[in-house]
Amino acid sequence: MPINSAVSSDNKRVMINITDRFDYGLHQSFRNSYQMVNEAGVIYSINLSRATYMDSSALGMVLLLKEHAEKKGGSVIICKPHPAVAKILKIANFDRFVTIEN
């Protein structure tokens, strides 16, 4: 699967891993990976170290997750973006909305 996710045992952290192309094709499965999580203060980390491509729909999907997270006082972190993806994030100046950890 190009996307898989895991929830930590204390339910405070959701880790989403994406490989290959992060684009519109993942729309539904990306949503599914966090929709059921409704606890307060959850940190969602999206690991993009193995994603080689990201399109604008995917940027939009991250914003949707951010909205979902912040409604319950949580937050979103993008982890280790692959260079190709880091470039897309930079062009969109996404560091202004989401924490990006290299």
Partner 1 sequence: MSRTHITDYPVAREKVLVVDDQLINRELLQSMLVKIGFDVILASNGQEAVDLFSQHLPALVLMDIAMPHMDGIEATRLIKQAAGEIFVPVIMISGLDGDDVIRRSIEMGGDDFIHRPFSYEVLRVKIKAIQRISDLYREVQRLYVLRQHEEDIAEDIFSNAIEKDNITFDQIKLHKRAASTFSGDVQITAIRPNGDINILLGDFTGHGLTSVVGALPLAETFRAMTRKGYEAEQVIAQINRKLHGLLPTGLFLAASMVTMSSNGRCTIWNGGMPDILILSAEGEVRQRIESGDPPLGIVPDMPDMNFTFTQLEPDDKILLVSDGVLEARNTDGEYFGEQRLLWAAMLGCREDDLLGRIMRAVDTFLKGHEQDDDISLIEIPGRIKMFASSLAEPGVNPALVQQDQSAGWTWSICLQGNNLKRVNPVAIALSQLQEVEGPGDHWHDIFTILTELFVNALDHGVLNLPSSLKSSAGGFTEYFAQREASLEQLESSCYVSIHLTSVKAAGQSSLLKITVQDSGSGFDHARWLDRIAERADDETGLAGRGIMLVQALCQSLIYSEDGSTVTAEYSWGDGLMALN
**What does the binding site for partner 1 look like in residue numbers (CB under 8 A)?**
24, 55-57, 59-61, 63-64, 67, 90-94, 96-97
Q: How far is the CB of 63 from partner 1 (least distance, A)?
A: 5
Distance CA 12, CA 46 (A): 14
Q: How far is the CB of 22 from partner 1 (least distance, A)?
A: 13
Determine the Cα angle at 47 with ends 82 and 70, to 5°: 125
Q: Which is nearer to partner 1, 5 or 94 (CB)?
A: 94
Distance CA 83, CA 48 (A): 10
Q: Which is nearer to partner 1, 9 or 93 (CB)?
A: 93
Structure tokens at 101: 């950890």
What is the Cα Rg of the chain in Å? 12
Q: Which is nearer to partner 1, 13 or 57 (CB)?
A: 57
